[in-house]
Amino acid sequence: MKIAATAFAAILVVLYPLVIYFGLNHFEPKFMAIILAAILVLRYFSRKKMRSNAESNTLIIVTFLGITLVVITVISNSVQGLKLYPTIVSFSFLVAFGYSLKNPPSAIERIARLSEPELPQEAIEYTRLVTQIWCVFFLLNGLFSLFTTFFSSIEFWTLYNGLISYLIMGCIFGGEFIYRKLFLVK
């Protein structure tokens, strides 16, 4: 049941821009904020027992800021609060990954150790570099998401936050995977 709830919450987070886009064609922003609240609550309780303090803190920050956006949206009935959620998620990941660079192990090293508990020093340095690359992505993605929130149409906001940003993430994942397999495998 917990795995199903976690998977459902993850799907809702990924589909969030599309849900907002189509939902706003039928409902006022304050009613769509209820969907955001439901996603936040479901995500929080499905991932409550995290593997690390950094992951747990990121979840708490995203949930708190998301609930703040819900309240702002309900009071103002403005779409801006709904559109800010992807920005908050991106900046929260930036903070979590950046924090892990200051307080090792890095975020990517933690992930790598799930499948390979004993990493050589070169691998630790590489995972640190990959974490830095993700920090740059989260910064640029957050800034562009913020730009789309205030200076673009709902259609472009949906396109960027619901497709383009995921394609960029896929390119980073894929590029890193290919690089690692071609150049780093012994």
80 neighbors 69 (Cβ within 8 angstroms): no
The pLDDT tens digits of the residues spanning 92-105 come to 999 999 999 999 99
Q: Classify 77 in phi/psi space as left (phi over 0), alpha (psi -120 to 50) or beta.
A: left
Q: 86, 80, 74, 89: which is closest to 150 by C-alpha? A: 80
pTM: 0.90
Average pLDDT (102-111) is 94
165 neighbors 141 (Cβ within 8 angstroms): yes
The pLDDT tens digits of the residues spanning 67-98 come to 999 999 999 999 999 999 999 999 999 999 99
